A and B are shown apart, each in its own frame.
Chain A
Amino acid sequence: MAELSWVATAPLSHVLKPGHHGAETGGSGVAYTGLSDFALVQVMARRGKASALAKAAKAHFGVAAPLKPKAVAAGGSLLIWSGPDQFLALSPRDGLASPLASLAGPLAGAASLSDQSDARALIRIAGPRARDVLAKFCSLDLDASVFPVGTAAATSVDHTAVTLWRGEDTAGGAATFNLLVFTSFAESLWHMMLDAGAAYGIEVGEASYGV
């Protein structure tokens, strides 16, 4: 029998080439960072259990889970609204431990949990031209007056469902947006993003989430 071995690779590993891309003059208008080593759990209230989940989540995370399209910091986790009575819990990955292990007990009976850690790619878009890039492929109004830090959205980009939220501004005061996309769509989205940002100059990098 042939030897079979599995090699774990990040979903963007074939296309993400760190360094400068696009326009050579004027520096980098945007930075794209592929983030890995995160744990991601989809939490959905069971039928009729929305208030039980709200209570259990508050007890476990110490803050209320978002009931509106927002991303809320909860200790080491970020709780991102993903639809009515559901949210995503994003945190740095803890080695080989199942991301479900710490949530299964506290949320038992109130919610169904699904491990999405290896099902999504996480891309951070930051820099002075971040909004200009996003305006090319995202139909939402991302102006600071209507999309402040901590705002989230479930939307479609390039015919692909994404979860988008605005993170803290960079040290230089530039806006930061985060994008979760299904892994099988990540490469095609990435190519489109490189085209969209080329005119501004792109600094491509990769990092571990939360480090």
Chain B
Amino acid sequence: MTVLSIQSLSMRFDQPGGVAVQALKDVSLDLRQGELMSVLGPSGCGKTTLLNILAGFLAPTSGSVTLGGKPVTGPGAERGMVFQQGALFEWMSVRENVGFGPRMKGMPKAELREIVDHLLDTMGLKDFKEKAVYELSGGMQQRVALARCLANDPDVILMDEPLGALDALTREKMQGLVLRLWKETGKTIVLITHSVEEALLLGERLVVMAPRPGRIHREYRLPFAEMGAGQDLRGIKKHPEFARTREEILGMIWDMEEEIMGRVEAG
């Protein structure tokens, strides 16, 4: 069943006195309930723009987004966001951050407490509930951001390079966590990343975008996310199919970047 439907989305940024930037052109996608989709592409190909439109922070110049049949016209609690960093409220404790969404809806205190406790326990943040967020490490902060999003129980989770600012080891652990949460909660997830490996691991579906104008270049259906939910992630990376796909996509993105550079140099 399609939850999130994106129909021929185009986005043009008109700059005063400059050339208009075609950030997205004719992008169409349908996401099924519980699908995990990763989006990959060279810098500036419109990934963040796409996500912002899905979240409702931007209105597209043309095309439409519907969620469960209803058109998206602005931000809403049914579409949760996880940002790269700096989106936690540092004037609140970890507990208050995680409980923010339900609290705004007026959920009773006892129930709220239970949800937040449960989430923080499963995220391994049991001992940090009353801490200030700026006292946590970057990895912990991203776990808080994930927990905050999940506490609100959205239909779709949108993530813009959620693990981009983490070191390699923490990042790998967090990838495992995202996969586990996906399996456990059955949420529909769109995840933007710069890392090809991450895109392969965290995508049943992988969309590779191309720049200028931003468009969908290729789509893959991948088995790795399904495998990874029960297995050690490093084992999957040794899989020959994994290595082959990675090389293929790397080459594809490399070519795109080369082309951009060439165009820039040519004038």
The answer to whether A and B assemble together is no
